Amino acid sequence: MGKRFLRYFGFVIIVFALAFVVLSGNNKTVVMTSNINSVKSLQAVHIVNKYNSIKEMEKAKEPVLYDNFYDAISVASSSPVAFMGTLTAYGPDCPGCSGNSACPPRQNFKNGNIYFEDQVYGKVRVVAADRSIPCGSIVRISGINIYSEPILAIVMDRGGAVTGNHMDLLFTSQSNLEGFATSHNIKFELIRYGW
């Protein structure tokens, strides 16, 4: 009886080890929880492919909407925040513009590249923002007059007139702003604070 049990136990360990190797080969993290409320069924497995840890997932909660921009920024490093503001547009050839991003890695915008490839969020638009919002911050922008859906943008640039709750969205050139007009009552959700 003892040898039979040991063989069975060894077989079970091998099966679990093979399953672990197969699952870990997919470059996905499996998160298990003891909170039954977060599980829809006993067979549910939550696979995390956008975040590297449970702490990053906890930060991905809904941003809190603040009436005052400076109140929002004062807590933005510890939790996602949102605020209302104004959005304008610019091209890399605007008066006084260098054509390069103010933030590292100093991307060249003169070639028409208005996107940045972020390691977590993928291909996102470039936006200029107030210096109190660090470079590399990810912003979800809702309510733009020429887009029906919200867009994701990364803070990669600055501007002398871009202060407070005013942001400036990058387009390919100053003469090609795609019919964009200054938009008020824009919702800015700061979902990542800096790099």
| Same-domain status, 89 and 178 | yes
What are the structure tokens assigned to 18, written together?
Answer: 């093979």
- What mean pLDDT comes out for the span 74-99? 94
Question: Length of the chain in residues, anyone?
Answer: 195
Q: What is the CATH number of the domain that holds 93?
A: 2.40.40.10
- Among residues 100, 134, 105, 108, the alpha carbon closest in space to that of 119 is found at 105
Residues 108, 80 within the same domain: yes
Same domain, 165 and 81: yes
Q: Are residues 97 and 164 in the same domain?
A: yes
134 DSSP assignment: -
Q: Does one domain contain both 43 and 133?
A: no
Q: Are 157 and 170 in contact (CB under 8 A)?
A: yes
Are residues 78 and 146 both part of a single domain? yes
For CA atoms 105, 121, 64, 76, give the dihedral sign. negative
Please check whether residues 33 and 116 belong to one and the same domain: no
> Which of 29, 49, 69 delimits the end of a domain?
49
CB atoms inside a 10 Å sphere around CB 103: 21
For position 23, what pLDDT does the model report? 56
Instruction: Of 41-45, 50-54, 83-87, give the lowest mean pLDDT range.
Output: 41-45
Dist. CA 170–CA 160, nearest whole Å: 15
Q: What residues contact residue 24 under an 8 Å CB cut-off, 6+ apart?
A: none
Rounded to two decimals, the pTM is 0.69
Confidence at residue 171, expressed as pLDDT on a 0 to 100 scale: 95
Q: Are residues 86 and 11 in the same domain?
A: no
Q: Are residues 6 and 99 both part of a single domain? A: no
Q: Does residue 114 sit in the same domain as residue 170? A: yes
Whether the predicted pLDDT of 165 surpasses 70: yes
As for how many domains the chain has, the answer is 2
The verdict on 74 and 29 lying in the same domain is no
Q: Where are the alpha helices (DSSP H) in the chain?
A: 2-24, 54-59, 69-75
Per-residue pLDDT at 145 = 86
Task: Tell me which residue range forms the domain holding 171.
Answer: 58-192
Highest mean pLDDT among 29-43, 59-73, 150-164: 150-164
Same domain for 136 and 85, yes or no, is yes
Distance, CA of 140 to CA of 63 (rounded, Å): 10
Domain boundary residue, one of 49, 71, 87: 49
Cis peptide before 150 (omega within 30 of 0): no
